[in-house]
Amino acid sequence: MLRALCSLLLISTVGAQAQDGKQSYPTRPIRLIVPSSPGGGQDIVSRALAAKLTEQMGQTVVVDNRGGGGGSVGAEITKAAPPDGYTINLMSASGVVRPLMYPSNYDVLRDFIPVSQITSNPYVLVVHPFVPAKSVQEFIAYAKANPGKLNFSSSGPGSQIHLGCELLNGAAGISTVHVPYKGTGAAYPDLIAGNVQWTLANITSSQPHVRAQRLRALAVSGAARAKAQPELPTIAESGVKGYEVTQWYGILVPARTASPIVDRLNKEIVGAVQQPDFAKRFSADGTETVGSSPAQFLALLKSETVRWAKVIKDTGVRGD
């Protein structure tokens, strides 16, 4: 009986210590893996989030840029990290597409646990002024009357913009030709010159060209109108039912991370992105903060995986 009591006491003590350890998380700095180079949109969002989390959690959140392989390098580092909450990953929408198009050592749904979606950023459908269209329906009608004669630019094969344009091709029943570039900035000179006639563009980078009438904006690609350009309808409300393409960022942790740690991270992240100054920092370019639950973010990952896998299969898109 004495031995049994001692064993029960030991188990109770260890259990209490383990529970206290979870409650005290974090006790050391957290590494935020950003699978891109410094300076881009993903990096900017990550640094704003890291600053907020550092304030709230009492531990430094260190941004660790690990660009390469279209995001696969950073994803693989996160996958291999201990599932203890001290390595987290800021994944983009493109991170879901990458393993669908290229041989990859990670599976988004198998190797990670979603914590929260951070932001959602729609694109704007722009055309060169040579295209005689002032609405999505007029653009579709013109493209149908000129099959194969219109080109669209993208930031590269398999990019969110590439697949978003291919999705519009299929949904609208039009045939336009993909011209890939090394980044969206590299595509603008040819787009403005009329060598390519349309694309899905970043709201901020396209606005100066739209104001100068070098490009014409027809609609935004999100589910709702963008606060940055509320005068523009969505592509869906313009007649392409169900069309929605956004660039988004969200936080993932390695699989097998304990639920109390995931819940704590979610609570802190949601609290950070819902602060007015965080939202204001990104609102000018049409970016909206989200702050979802793990279940909501998982649903997004699943739906994105199914949708883009279908687009890739239907169009025969291949990575270079």
Instruction: Please report the pLDDT score of residue 318 as a whole number.
Output: 74
Domains 29-121+246-315 and 123-220 share a fold: yes
Distance CA 74, CA 34 (A): 6
Instruction: Please report the pLDDT score of residue 2 as a whole number.
Output: 54
The secondary structure of residue 113, as a DSSP letter, is E
263 three-state secondary structure: helix
The secondary structure of residue 282, as a DSSP letter, is H
The CATH superfamily label for domain 123-220 reads Periplasmic binding protein-like II (3.40.190.10)
| Cα–Cα distance list, 16 to 5, 6, 21, 86 (Å) | 16, 15, 9, 22
- Residue labelled with tokens 């350890």: 21
Digit-by-digit pLDDT tens for the chain (320 residues) are 455 544 444 444 434 434 444 458 999 999 999 998 887 778 889 999 999 999 999 999 999 999 887 788 999 999 999 999 999 999 999 889 889 988 889 999 999 999 999 999 999 999 999 999 999 999 999 999 999 999 999 988 888 899 999 999 999 999 999 999 987 888 999 999 999 999 999 888 898 999 999 999 999 999 999 988 899 999 999 999 999 999 999 999 999 999 999 999 999 999 999 999 998 888 766 788 999 999 999 999 999 999 999 999 988 887 66
* Residues 223-278: tens digit of each pLDDT: 999 988 899 999 999 999 999 999 999 999 999 999 999 999 999 999 999 999 99
* Residues 184-194: tens digit of each pLDDT: 888 999 999 99
Instruction: Please report the pLDDT score of residue 185 as a whole number.
Output: 83
Residue 128 near residue 191, CB atoms below 8 Å: yes
Tokens standing for residue 267: 């609570």
Q: Is 306 buried (19+), middle (13-18) or exposed (0-12) by CB count in 10 A?
A: exposed
Residue 59 near residue 4, CB atoms below 8 Å: no
Give domain limits for the chain: 29-121+246-315, 123-220
Single pTM value for the model: 0.83
Residue 101 near residue 184, CB atoms below 8 Å: no
Q: What is the CA radius of gyration of the chain?
A: 22
The CATH superfamily label for domain 29-121+246-315 reads Bordetella uptake gene, domain 1 (3.40.190.150)
